[in-house]
Amino acid sequence: MGTPITPYGGNDAKKAQVARMFDNIAHRYDFLNHFFSLGIDRLWRKKAVRMLLSKDPKEVLDVATGTADFAIEAAKKAPHLKVVGVDISAGMLDIGRTKVTKAKQDGRVELVLGDGEQLPFEDGRFDAFTVAFGVRNFENLPAGLKEMNRTLRSGGQGYILEFSKPRMFPMKQLFWLYFRYIMPTLGKWFSKDAAAYTYLPESVKAFPEGEDMKGILEECGFTECELHPLTGGIATLYVVGKA
């Protein structure tokens, strides 16, 4: 899949750089996430949560949970649900735990520090998994996907929400103008980490999407892979199953 796109360059492993990046921007992450997407990211998550809960899972794994937006949203909508969130950034999880308590979801949302490519859970434990804007940051994408497959029970489903590249005029032109020039400038001002918001458009540009991503998911053992483009192709929701 070529040389990994990293936030800071140099010889450090991508996962170490990603953890450092998210630790650096954790204090501003939620604000910038919603600001840059104009709040549309909330609608994307709500759609994924609705699809997830329609299958009535009992225990869900939220990979690359960050500050736990997805985990909290799912838990609040389904009183019977237990959500385990895992992330490589301790700084993001610290903020996530505060949000979990504020949302009165302690005991139903558990946040664990861990590597998505080496998940600390037994085979077939979860009824479903979710990951929102996280697989793009894996150092080894197939390794991370295989781990999600391993920890998913037979008959379970996964929901992967990730940025993609719009193809149609004028969305394509506006998207890249925004991602390449406006976002890095504003991200530098607000977060004080210029590399984080330069990395974002570069990682989106390099990441496989659509049918390419579907092929990788199938190679990693998933079945019934569905693609749901969102907001003119800015993002895609991949829904996968396990036989």
Residue 194, domain member (yes or no): no
Residue 171, domain member (yes or no): no
Q: What's 98's domain CATH number? A: 3.40.50.150
**Structural domains in the chain (count):** 1
Tell me the C-alpha distance between 85 and 67, whole Å: 9
Q: Are the C-beta atoms of residues 100 and 68 closer than 8 Å to each other? A: yes
pLDDT at 142: 98
Residue 182, domain member (yes or no): no
More confident: 174 or 73: 73
Dihedral angle over CA of 97, 103, 108, 109, nearest 10 = -30
Tell me the C-alpha distance between 183 and 195, whole Å: 11
DSSP string for residues in 117-185? TS-SS-TT-EEEEEEES-GGG-SSHHHHHHHHHHHEEEEEEEEEEEE----STTHHHHHHHIIIIIHHH
Tell me the C-alpha distance between 138 and 148, whole Å: 12
Please list the helix, strand and coil fractions of the chain in percent, rounded to the nearest 5, in that order: 50, 20, 30
Question: pLDDT tens digits, residue range 1-55?
Answer: 556 899 898 889 999 999 999 999 998 888 877 766 778 889 999 999 999 999 9
User: Mapping DSSP to helix (H, G, I), strand (E, B) and coil, where does residue 33 land?
Assistant: helix
